[in-house]
Amino acid sequence: MPNPLHVLVVGAGVAGMAAAGALDRRGLSVDIIERRTHSPVGAGLFLPGNAVRALAELGLGDALRDGVPIRTQRLRDHRGRTLADIDMAALWRGVGQPVGITYDRLRSALADKLRLPIRTGVTVRTITESDDGVEVAFSDGTSGRYDVVVGADGVHSELRRTVRPHAEARYAGQVCWRYVTSNASGIDDWTVWLGRGATFLAVPVGKDRLYCYADLSMSEPAAVAPAGTALAEHFSHFDREVRDLLTIPDAHFSAIEEVIDSTWRTRRIILIGDAAHASSPNMAQGVAMSVEDALVLAESLGGPGEVEHMLARYRLRRLPRTRWVQARARRRDSTRSMAPVVRDAVLRLAAPRIYERDYCLLRDLP
């Protein structure tokens, strides 16, 4: 019986830990490294049905019960008038119950399931690929030889420069603020307020906890000051319920970026998650695509065959689905240029059909 493949996973976010766990469960030998020495805090997540299904396959079904079941996605105009309610049970029929959860809780659940140590504060210093393996030198002075290297190091991936030197993340035309706060107003479902080139989203993620996400369309990310006061200024004309949630001085500010290069791999290096196909978040598919990537990669590498052929099959299997998500996300973003009166009328008349069109493919198994 041949020895199992030895795999290095670079990055210990959701994509990296999911990949390491899935590969380990398939009997592969796995090392995992992470540049950061602590995880980011203060973020929340909305997990659609296909994300819940993928995480359950990794054994995280019980952990998701710590989140908040999301039964409705409520669309409102910026004044708070309801445009449409989307029934999650109907949209994700037979797939999974959508959940709101904090990033910390999900990452902790992944860490609890992972039977492998994570080497933190470590990066790849040099990487040399040959026909029969990959030699990796690390920033802590150690080195290793691997059959496969998995780049799960996010939208600003260092490994992507090895795979495709000029494939940089590009600005998607929006900036955003993210934070978790108390749910004093008792918002009990996914709720979004839509303005002209501006969106405010609130999602319950735990007992009395609310994840808030606000974004603005901007030609250049530097056009907006990152301070919390800027957030309040840009959304001061929104509904009172939104304005009551704006007094957050330490909201995380960032530009929204996407990765559109579809090379993804060399002979023995493969990119997954945001490193391969980061997208605008309006489809809420970041976690779903990352965990699906992990499961499909583990399935691909767990069988017989040459490594290069396995990685080629993985890419061909995942590319159409991730392209679908990116295309739908761009199409949704394009509605920001519509006059609000037109957009609101369209949503009142056709929101359930739009959601069905956007998510129908994702009900299928990856």
Are residues 333 and 282 in contact, defined by beta-carbon separation less than 8 angstroms?
yes
Tell me the DSSP string of 199-260: EEEEEEEETTEEEEEEEEE-SSGGGS--SHHHHHHHTTTS-HHHHTT---TT-EEEEEEE--
**What is the rounded CA–CA span in Å between residue 226 and residue 290?**
28
pLDDT digits over 110-137, tens only?
999 998 999 999 999 999 999 999 999 9
Are residues 25 and 298 in contact, defined by beta-carbon separation less than 8 angstroms?
yes
- Mean pLDDT, rounded, for 178-187: 92
**What is the rounded CA–CA span in Å between residue 36 and residue 156?**
14
Are residues 79 and 62 in contact, defined by beta-carbon separation less than 8 angstroms?
no
**What is the rounded CA–CA span in Å between residue 164 and residue 167?**
6
pLDDT digits over 340-362, tens only?
999 999 999 999 999 999 999 99
Task: Give, in order, the Cα–Cα distances in Å from 106 to each of 41, 71, 73, 259, 356.
Answer: 12, 20, 21, 24, 27
Residue 72 banded pLDDT, cuts 50, 70, 90? very high
Token digits of residue 366: 């990856």
* The predicted structure's pLDDT at residue 108: 92
Are residues 358 and 283 in contact, defined by beta-carbon separation less than 8 angstroms?
yes
Token digits of residue 22: 């899935």
- pLDDT-above-90 percentage for the chain: 86
**What is the rounded CA–CA span in Å between residue 157 and residue 291?**
17
- Mean pLDDT, rounded, for 149-166: 95
* The predicted structure's pLDDT at residue 222: 75
State yes or no: pLDDT of 151 exceeds 60: yes
Q: How, if at all, do strands 44-47 and 99-102 pair?
A: antiparallel
What domains lie within the chain, and their CATH numbers?
Answer: 6-69+99-169+258-337 (3.50.50.60)
Token digits of residue 322: 């991730």
* The predicted structure's pLDDT at residue 273: 98
**What is the rounded CA–CA span in Å between residue 152 and residue 287?**
12
pLDDT digits over 39-71, tens only?
665 589 999 999 999 999 999 999 999 899 999
For 3, other C-beta atoms within 10 Å of its C-beta total 7
* The predicted structure's pLDDT at residue 40: 62
Mean pLDDT for the chain?
A: 94
